[in-house]
Amino acid sequence: MDAHFGMIGLGTMGRNLVLNIADHGFKVCGYDRSEEQRTRLMEEGKGKPISTASSSAELIRNLKAPRVIMFLVPAGKVVDTVIGELLPDLEKGDILIDGGNSHFVDTDRRYTQLQESGIHFIGMGVSGGEEGARFGPSMMPGGDEDSYQLIANILESIAAKADGEPCVAFVGNGAAGHYVKMVHNGIEYAIMQMISEVYGVLKNEGLSNAELHELFADWNEGELQSFLIEITAEIFRTKDVDTGKDLIDLILDKAKQKGTGLWTSQSALELSVPIPTIDTSVSMRYLSALKEERTQLSEFYVHQNKKTENDTELLKKHCRDALYFGFMMAYGQGLELLETASKNYNYNIHLPTVIKIWRAGCIIRSLLLNDLYDAFVQQPELKNIIGSSVFIPTLKEKRNGLVNLLKVAMDAGVPALTFATTLGYFDAYTQERLSANLIQAQRDFFGAHTYERIDKEGNFHTDWGAKK
């Protein structure tokens, strides 16, 4: 009965987090229904303060009060099942942490239900993948701050560090932790898609995988320095162990997803926040899955994959600038959504805090986050980074690179849909007058929905079909 921390779910993430926690001097007890997973944990944790339990009741008996139990299990009904199994043996003051990618709506419900029982409930986003879990993730806990303070010493010990600061902090009330992680993943979708679109254009223009490796490695030494650029460089030089060929060329062009991108888009629609860069990246995953249909349709069209013979060195510069511009739009859209959700759901999310804990450990970590932090500190009421004095000069400069990349992509017949949407978003957001006046007129014409005018106050209706 002396373990400091309990873990339910000993798959890759759960097991590595247990090892990480134990490395920092905390006694950990792990539980998984699979005996194989329990055995593997004990083998990998040999010599560390780690034990296992064969049931949730035994796990609870092995923990000292107040009991801290984290679970990393599939989102949905499984989480409710785990909580239901634990509750009869828990006591007031015990702490439950859902570290999976639960839908924030479910987390809000669970948080409200458990408040009445006196059990602390924390919904916590965890990012960083297998390596992050083992050596330092970025963590986004929400719920209430008193609950967080009970476990802050453990989480701060195991978190990734940026400039000596742990990449974990209380991010907000209720389901704020899972909401922040959801948006993190939405931004991740967008950045990954834009990188893949640049790859598609450059590959079509004839760059070899070795040249792509060198290019991305070079980009990672400059303003695009980020985890996703770094691993992309490594991917291009990785060989298949069976054939000796470049592994990237043997991978099927179908991208999967687990739902957080979809949830981000759904929530943004409900809150009337435009995030088209993220939305389009989600749609492109769906398009990639239509492999059979794409293969059949490609036989009917001949505009695809034409080499344009553009200046390769200039194209590389355009691609770099387009990525910078696109990354900033993805971050900006995600942060605007967080700010709106925070006000709508009373999450009280502090954007500079979120940006700080994304600087290391998580998948979307990048050098750009330092400038983003400065922007929101300098202008606390900033709605979108497009209006930030930190970014206005750079966005003006980089937009041209995106335009030129799109010209090459269109001439080549290579899809760059996320970049195209991103440019349209930026141009619409920065244009004083849009063509939506025509939409107002159309709605009033067919549905008498009325319209507003620029020359006087009020709502107006016109009998558009009346004879003059």
Q: Is the distance from CB of 101 to CB of 76 less than 8 angstroms? A: no
User: Using one digit for the tens of pLDDT, what is the confidence trace for 48-97?
Assistant: 999 999 999 999 999 999 999 999 998 889 999 999 999 999 999 999 99
pLDDT band at 273 (very low <50, low <70, confident <90, very high): very high
Do the strands 68-71 and 95-98 form a parallel or antiparallel pair, or are they unpaired? parallel
* pLDDT at residue 385, as a whole number: 94
Q: Which are the catalytic amino acids?
A: 181, 188
Classify each residue of 251-262 as buried b or exposed e, where b means 16 or more C-beta atoms within 10 Å of its C-beta. Answer: eeeebeeeebbb
User: Using one digit for the tens of pLDDT, what is the confidence trace for 163-206?
Assistant: 999 999 999 999 999 999 999 999 999 999 999 999 999 999 99
CA geometry: angle 49, 50, 55, nearest 5 deg: 150
pLDDT band at 1 (very low <50, low <70, confident <90, very high): low
Do the strands 138-143 and 120-127 form a parallel or antiparallel pair, or are they unpaired? antiparallel
**Domain spans of the chain, in order of start:** 5-174, 181-429
* pLDDT at residue 467, as a whole number: 53
User: Which two structure tokens, joined as six digits, stand for 46?
Assistant: 């040999």
Say how far apart CA 181 and CA 139 lie, in whole Å. Answer: 9
Peptide bond into 276 cis (omega under 30): no
Question: Three-state DSSP class for 52?
Answer: strand
User: Using one digit for the tens of pLDDT, what is the confidence trace for 325-364?
Assistant: 999 999 999 999 999 999 999 999 999 999 999 999 999 9
Distances (CA, A) of 451 to 435, 463, 468: 14, 12, 20
Closest CA to 345 of 140, 111, 148: 111
Classify each residue of 115-154 as buried b or exposed e, where b means 16 or more C-beta atoms within 10 Å of its C-beta. Answer: eeeebbbbbbbbbbbeebbbebbbbbbbbbeebbeebbeb
User: Using one digit for the tens of pLDDT, what is the confidence trace for 215-267?
Assistant: 999 999 999 999 999 999 999 999 999 999 999 999 999 988 878 899 999 99
The rounded percent of the chain whose pLDDT value lies above 70 is: 99
| pTM for this entry | 0.95
pLDDT band at 423 (very low <50, low <70, confident <90, very high): very high
pLDDT band at 305 (very low <50, low <70, confident <90, very high): confident
Mean pLDDT calculated for residue range 383-396:
95
User: Using one digit for the tens of pLDDT, what is the confidence trace for 16-38?
Assistant: 999 999 999 999 999 999 999 99
Give the CATH H-level superfamily of domain 181-429. Answer: N-(1-d-carboxylethyl)-l-norvaline Dehydrogenase; domain 2 (1.10.1040.10)
What proportions of the chain, in percent to the nearest 5, are helix, strand and coil?
Answer: 55, 10, 35
User: Using one digit for the tens of pLDDT, what is the confidence trace for 98-127?
Assistant: 999 999 999 999 999 998 889 999 999 999
Say how far apart CA 442 and CA 457 lie, in whole Å. Answer: 20
Name the CATH topology of 5-174: Rossmann fold (3.40.50)
Phi, psi of 162 (to 5 degrees): -125, 120
Say how far apart CA 226 and CA 222 lie, in whole Å. Answer: 9
* pLDDT at residue 465, as a whole number: 82
* pLDDT at residue 310, as a whole number: 87
